[in-house]
Amino acid sequence: MTQTAVALGLLVIMTSLLLIEGSPFLVHQRQKGRFQRDRRNIRPNIVLILTDDQDIELGSMQVMNKTRRIMEQGGVHFINAFVTTPMCCPSRSSILTGKYVHNHNTYTNNENCSSLSWQAHHEPKTFAAYLNSTGYRTAFFGKYLNEYNGSYVPPGWKEWVGLIKNSRFYNYSLCRNGVREKHGHDYAKDYLTDLITNDSISYFKMSKKIFPHRPVLLVLSHAAPHGPEDSAPQFAHLFPNASQHITPSYNYAPNPDKHWIMRYTGPMKPIHMEFTNMLQRKRLQTLMSVDESVEKMYDMLLDIGELENTYIIYTADHGYHIGQFGLVKGKSMPYEFDIRVPFYIRGPNIEAGSINPHIVLNIDLAPTILDIAGVDIPVDMDGKSILKLLETEVPVNRFHFHKRAKVWRDSFLVERGKLLHKRDGGTKEDKAQEENFLPKYQRVKDLCQRAEFQTPCEQTGQYWQCVEDATGKLRLHKCKGMANLEVSGKKGLTGVKSKYFSKNSNDCSCEDNEYKINHFGRKKKLYSKKKYKASYARNRSTRNVAIELNGELFNVELEDGYQPVYSKNITKRQTRAQDDLEEEEEEEEDKDTAEYSGTGSLSLTNELTAPTSIKVTHRCFILANDTVQCDTVLYKSLQAWKDHKLHIDHEIETLQSKIKNLREVRGHLKKKRPEECDCNKMSFYSKQKGKLKHKGMNLHPFKKFRLEKDLWFFRDQRRRKKLRKILKRIKNNDTCSMPGLTCFTHDNQHWTTAPFWTLGPFCACTSANNNTYWCLRTINETHNFLFCEFATGFLEYFDLNTDPYQLMNIVNTLDRDVLNQLHVQLMELRSCKGHKQCNPRTRNVELGSRDGGSYEQFRGQLWEGWEG
């Protein structure tokens, strides 16, 4: 009996073990864990090959036969690879950090590109810094960031050969491990593409010889096919009839249904079309050296036996357009030709010759590289590792039918979030062309669904009420009676103030003043720095003065005819200048001075008078008549002239560097500004928000949103700099410059290598200052669309299933509820942080939210800011 029981027990144990061994889930988990352990133990090498401005839509990969043989036939080709910002420095910053632009704040090729803020907050968190700390031999060769000045070696790189400033093939400077290295125009030793290839191969061999068991991270960042498109001499004769760039959207202009620059751009002239043909040819020629570079790297890895333990990634920082929609050349547009890029990867456990349709982004590169190296991915990275899309899964047994599908994003954000200037009102004709702006009645209808506007004018502090007129239209009416209940007078206002701004408050500590002028009527200075005009102060009669005494307010009535006394030393010249200024700004000043109470006094002195001369240097002055006069010796001695000019150039360079640093500090201070504490002002942003009256609370909701929106416009201080550039160009008879446009000139001297341009100079404009947008790009089983919201309020929607070249904007055909849904999804992505928020599965645009719910909760808050 005992033996039988023991036998049965052994049988049960053996059966349980067999069931456990045969469990598909456990076997898969064990295999996955073993794969990860092996990857950590093997520590594969990683080679990232990055090109600059290489398209996929215009056929650039068709001529790179060696790269396609190695990467496409030997690895996986991601046919839906995109960048989140189609500009050099923002995209490269996203590649390094794995973050969207709105999270690393590098908005343009100038704004925060390789700045002190970037160096302090984001550069220490690149994928190189993480791999370097885990034992990888990290090396970088080629173009880094557009504004990189070569004064330092970025953290995380053991070997550093970085190009200073923007792409060039000859006559450039490198920073080689902290030492500046200048190169000339000798192809054998100076051509940048070959130099990057040879130095990277030498470093890889040396690392494996000295440290055979340590993995290597190698980045080859080529300048090709970026301008000035100088090819190697052996390729200068290739592609005489290149025409891959002539797509259905080529010279498709003008486009009245698209945003402003597209409506402005007309068909290209014959010289422009000839230039696009030459440009395409020279770009393809430069890529031939990159094609050879990939082959040399592949052969080296094969020769030393490291190919099977190396991941090779090939991609570009963004796409390019050549003649599409009449734009002669450039990038920065949200369309397919600018945001699609080539993306190939080969390495261990990757199926050769496969095609992957999943969406991959430039922000996925950093987490993918960390995952390959076995390093934990930081939670603040917005991208995701694509390794889960690469690993080949073989069914454990014939009963393993129900394999769980991979969950991956089907939407992403395309953003170009440059700070904007204030948009002009424009003419009625211009506004009539923008047909897809939401009409006023629709915006009023949305606002009327808010609870704050649905109640009658009986609530304390309510300023607006939504009513229906005789025709059935909804209108917003101002509440004229109940709004004053919140503040019945200045006496009561002081009581509210003393209640919330007491001495015991930890936020504000104000001294007692027995007698002081109150500031309730002072001029608002939120958007303007203009001074009060003496002419207004002289002519305006002061009727009363608000006096604060012992914590209470009193209005002191003044006698008729009373005039405040001002300083008498106001010159006639100043008076005339101020009168002229008054005429120029009469309309704007009337609005500003409407709230000025007339209290206080002005003190203008003769210090405003221009001096007779200004000393600029120790030998040169600027006279009162705006002429420059220098010492006589500078006009007679050539050596003295050269020395003084050299001194001035040095001073300019020093001041420019100091100005750049000061701007960085100013930007930092703006972000870290503490909460304002003013005992004489009741701020809407104080902790008592909702209890105190704010000047802007009684504004119309449209205007209120517009004021908040204007804060972005007026933060861009570079408007004055650009205005000076425009004036300078006008002075120099530069006819290629137009306000608000980004233009370029091309002449016979631009290209210094064959084939040469011989058709003479021309001008073309490629972009606009208001080309700021946020787009939602979606590709899934049922949808393939691009939806964009421009900072000007313009909307675009393209269905790429029926219109793959984005020829027709069909936003007017969308239902209102669908637009609301798209807007909500876009707003979520614009503020996302981390991979959990930034990688959504798109809601069904016909049914509503992810769970099929309604979007009624969002009504009224979606479109209140768009101007029509």
Question: Cis peptide leading into 225, omega within 30 of 0?
Answer: yes
Q: Which ranges constitute the DSSP H helices of 111-227?
A: 116-121, 127-132, 187-190, 192-210
DSSP state of 852: S
- For residues 180 and 31, give the distance between their C-alpha atoms in angstroms, rounded to a whole number: 49
Helix (H, G, I), strand (E, B) or coil at 120: helix
Is the backbone peptide bond immediately before 228 cis, with ω within 30 degrees of 0?
Answer: yes
Closest alpha carbon to 201 in 358, 376, 45: 45
What's the CA gap between 859 and 599, in Å, rounded? 45
E strand or H helix that includes residue 221: strand 216-221
Residues 157 and 142: their CA atoms lie apart, in Å, by: 13
Helix (H, G, I), strand (E, B) or coil at 235: helix
What is the distance between the alpha carbons of residues 288 and 300, in angstroms, rounded to a whole number? 19
Q: How far apart are CA 146 and CA 165, in angstroms?
A: 5
Point out the catalytic residue in the list 88, 89, 765, 838: 88
Cα 312 to the center of its chain, rounded Å: 29
Q: Give the other-Cβ count within 10 Å of 122's Cβ.
A: 19
Q: Which residues pair with 343 in a beta bridge?
A: 315
Q: In 311-439, which residue ranges form alpha helices assigned H by DSSP?
A: 336-339, 365-372, 428-433
| Contacts for 337 with CB less than 8 Å, ≥ 6 apart | 55, 57, 58, 247, 249, 319, 320, 321, 324
Q: And the tokens for 647?
A: 């001194």
CB-hemisphere CA count at 13 Å for 779? 14
DSSP state of 713: H
Which helix H or strand E contains 830, and what residues bound it?
helix 816-830
Query: Structure tokens of 559?
Result: 């006698």
Provide the token pair at 109. Answer: 């090729």
- Give the list of residues 6+ apart from residue 627 with CB closer than 8 angstroms, or none: none
Cβ neighbours of residue 85 closer than 8 Å, sequence gap 6 or more: 91, 94, 101, 318, 414, 415, 416
Rounded (5°) CA angle 670-671-676: 65
Backbone dihedral angles phi then psi of residue 615, each to the nearest 5 degrees: -85, 115
Written as one letter, the residue type at 247 is T
Expressed in angstroms, the distance from the first to the final Cα of the chain is: 92
Q: Which amino acid is at 679?
A: C
Give the list of residues 6+ apart from residue 111 with CB closer than 8 angstroms, or none.
418, 419
Instruction: Kindly tell me the burial class for residue 695, based on how many C-beta atoms sit within 10 Å of its own C-beta (0-12, 13-18, 19 or more).
Output: middle
832 catalytic per annotation = no
Looking at residue 212, what DSSP letter applies? T
Question: Could you tell me which of 700, 696, 707, 704 has the C-alpha nearest to residue 476?
Answer: 700
Please provide the DSSP assignment of 482-550 as one string: GGGGS---HHHHHHHHHHHS-TT-SS------SSEE--TTPPP-SS--PPPPHHHHHHSPP-EEEEEET
Residue 823 amino acid letter:
H
**From the centroid of its chain, how far is CA 116?**
17
Could you tell me if 322 and 279 are in contact, meaning their C-beta atoms sit under 8 angstroms apart? Answer: yes
Could you give the 3-state DSSP secondary structure of residue 54?
coil
Ramachandran bin of 676, using left for φ above 0, alpha for ψ from -120 to 50, beta for the remaining angles = beta
Catalytic residue ranges? 88
